[in-house]
Structure 1
Amino acid sequence: MRVQFAPLRLPLRRRLQTAAVVQWVFSFLALAQCCLLLFLALLLGSGWLLAVLYAAWLYLDWDTPARGGRRSAWVRRWAVWRHFRDYFPITLVKTAPLEPRRNYLFGFHPHGVLVAGAFGNFCTEATGFQELFPGLTPHLLMLPFWFRVPFFRDYIMSGGLVSSEKASAAHLLGREGGGQVAVVAVGGPPEALEARPGALTIRILGRRGFVKMALQHGAALVPVFSFGENELFHQLSNPKGSFVRAVQDRLQKVLGLALPLFHARGVFQYSFGLLPFRRPIHTVVGAPILVPKTPHPSQEAIDELHKTYLENLVQLFEENKTRYGVPEDKHLHLV
């Protein structure tokens, strides 16, 4: 394979953008492990008292990720996130007003490999969420496992990440006065295994938990489609029935985590590595589907709302696809 190296002379802004994405990829792939090793090093070394004090704090703070988290406006506005945004770039697109007196459940599609669009739009202020949707506070739901890692949990909560357990979503969507947005990557880890350039597979037909949650709390459902999300990485071929896919599916069931074998570009060359390609991401927020509060919804009511949500999601995609680089003859594949 012929390696294509990056030019030696590049504008400083490009260097800063790449550095911002390097730290983001590191945070996704290795920061949690580093935080765990740091805690163990403190516990087994001369910093044992600090580790014990943190463990006591962790015990007292254990439920915070499921109680709205602990966001930091300062962290969300770090300059590094603006460089991160401009690397792709990422754009948040508003198609309809959202009233701050309601609570909302955003269904984010597709998951992609590392949910770059969801992170950039809902865990930072780089794309102007507060300006586009004044009075609303977004919370991106993440697997509960990550909130058990010392130090790492505090960092991810500062950006607005919260646990994806049911109690966490219920806490947000049941908040009196409205203004809360729970963002759910509906396809979950399994959908990440489908993420590759050109892929339009959405795992949603058997997923009704988010619809039931919206009904129970009367939260408006909002479909969100992130064009370009699947264009950021290639994956090792893993068709259904292959050995690679069988191992991935097994690990996903055991660990609850998707392990896509992805690759894209490097820091100083464009031929291989773990950094995403520079591809534009347009995250389009659809119109809200108003939902009546139904504490004990019937299966019929859940199925009907799920059907309405699918129709709105497909409509959102079809109305915007050619504007954001998807050919007219391409359609969503719902599974």
Structure 2
Amino acid sequence: MNSDTGLQFKGLGLQFAPLNVPLERRLQTLAVIYFWTSFIFMGMLPSIMGIYLLFTDYYWVTLLAASWVYYDRKTPHQGGRRMSWLGVRSMIQWSYIKDFFPITLVKTVDLDPKHNYLLAVHPHGIMSFGAVINFGSEATGFSELFPGITPSLLTLSGWFNIPLVREYLMMGGLCAVSKDSGDWLLGGQAGQGRAAVIVVGGASESLEAHPNNHVVYLHRRKGFVKRAIESGAYLVPCYSFGEAEIFKQMPNPQGSRLRDLQVRLTRLVGFAPPIFHGRGVFNYNFGLLPFRRAISTVIGKPMYVKKITNPSSEQVEKVHQEYMGHLRALFDANKTKYGVAGDQNLNFI
């Protein structure tokens, strides 16, 4: 038996990890478990605890927390509350998660700190590991690669309605994805050298996250383009090669019963429920952890956008078409470097 491949139980179809896995790799797996459980339960547990406390002598804790969320409701839309001195972006688990895949941030050009930027990231994948690690932490060295640029990863506004969770996210530099947030970060109120980072396809795009399936939701996603025009921020296309390779999703082609059900659930509950699997903690074939597949997020050349306070739909459409051309060019120029066949194309839906 090769210790690198682990025990193979053909009858079960599972390949189990060997007992002598190096400590470093075990810590990487533990860090990914932390990320996965946080992704799933981070909002659920504080909410359950808050409801529980309402029926105890400590009901005032929940009322106090809810009052603070209401009082501080504008902060996530006004640059957040980044606390660099706490080192949330530099915590060790981010580096372990980065090494698990591994994840790399690829710089193609410099970003001038005299300007503001809207970094549009594609694709979303199942859990957006590339976006979180590259822009929500310093594990891949964003600040060293782009000195003078302060990134703010934008996420769903609902996270900032949950006590404790909202504080943790803001300490790491995350902000709400909203018009007000985009205006604040890019319009000059937050100063120069700001980069608002948006995963354009959103959670709905996770339904397209299949290996070797290079599809992004973009045809009807024009809000980010309008924000860039209104603020005069440069548009920067970013593509995470490998993001769709780390899980295997149940086949759900357009028009299938499963896809129709997923679309209806998305409209009902507000997020897409992909049915997927990866590897396990102790086996390499089946579980809820991602496979160890490389993710390379390539940051493209900034696209100059002329500032127009009230752009027309035609002006937005023109810039949107130009942006799609820049994103396709970025994909084509880099695809063979990161394991994509030369004859595969990027598809917009």
TM-score normalized with structure 2 length: 0.93
Give the SS at the match of 1:141. strand
Report the equivalent of 2:308. Answer: 294
Give the SS at the match of 1:120. helix
Q: Does 1:116 align with 2:116?
A: no
> Which sits farther off after the overlay, 50-59 or 313-322?
50-59
Report the equivalent of 1:5. Answer: 16
Give the SS at the match of 2:43. helix
2: distance between equivalents of 1:5 and 1:39? 40
Contact 2:69 / 2:162 at 8 angstroms: preserved in 1? no
**CA deviation profile, 1:155-203 (whole Å, cap 9, x unmatched):** 2222222111211111111124311111111111221100011110111
2: distance between equivalents of 1:256 and 1:229? 22
The match for 1:34 among 26, 29, 45 is: 45
Residue identity matched to 1:23: Y
Q: Does 1:14 align with 2:28?
A: no
Q: Does 1:147 align with 2:160?
A: yes
The match for 2:82 among 71, 74, 93 is: 71
2: distance between equivalents of 1:258 and 1:64? 27
Q: Does 1:57 align with 2:82?
A: no
Contact 1:189 / 1:252 at 8 angstroms: preserved in 2? no
Q: Does 1:99 align with 2:112?
A: yes
How much does 1:305 deviate?
A: 1.0
Give the SS at the match of 2:14. coil
Contact 1:122 / 1:138 at 8 angstroms: preserved in 2? yes
How much does 1:14 deviate?
A: 0.3
Report the equivalent of 2:228. Answer: 214
Contact 1:223 / 1:286 at 8 angstroms: preserved in 2? yes
1: distance between equivalents of 2:226 and 2:269? 25
2: distance between equivalents of 1:208 and 1:24? 30
Contact 1:109 / 1:185 at 8 angstroms: preserved in 2? yes
How much does 1:48 deviate?
A: 2.5
1: distance between equivalents of 2:53 and 2:75? 24
Report the equivalent of 1:248. Answer: 262
- Aligned residues between the structures: 335
1: distance between equivalents of 2:74 and 2:269? 21
Q: Please give the residue correspondences for 1:105-254 in structure 2 after superposition, counting only pairs within 5 Å.
A: 105-176=118-189, 177-254=191-268
1: distance between equivalents of 2:296 and 2:38? 23
> Which sits farther off after the overlay, 278-287 or 182-191?
182-191
Give the SS at the match of 2:296. strand
Give the SS at the match of 1:266. coil
Residue identity matched to 2:129: A
2: distance between equivalents of 1:279 and 1:168? 33
The match for 2:281 among 267, 273, 287 is: 267
2: distance between equivalents of 1:267 and 1:72? 33
Residue identity matched to 1:213: R
2: distance between equivalents of 1:7 and 1:47? 48
2: distance between equivalents of 1:151 and 1:248? 31
Which residues of structure 2 form unaligned runs of 5+? Answer: 1-11
Residue identity matched to 1:241: G
> Which sits farther off after the overlay, 65-74 or 98-107?
65-74
Residue identity matched to 1:225: Y
**CA deviation profile, 1:23-50 (whole Å, cap 9, x unmatched):** 0010111121111112223332243233
Give the SS at the match of 1:221. strand
Identity of aligned residues (%): 48
How much does 1:146 deviate?
A: 2.0
Which residues of structure 1 form unaligned runs of 5+? Answer: none
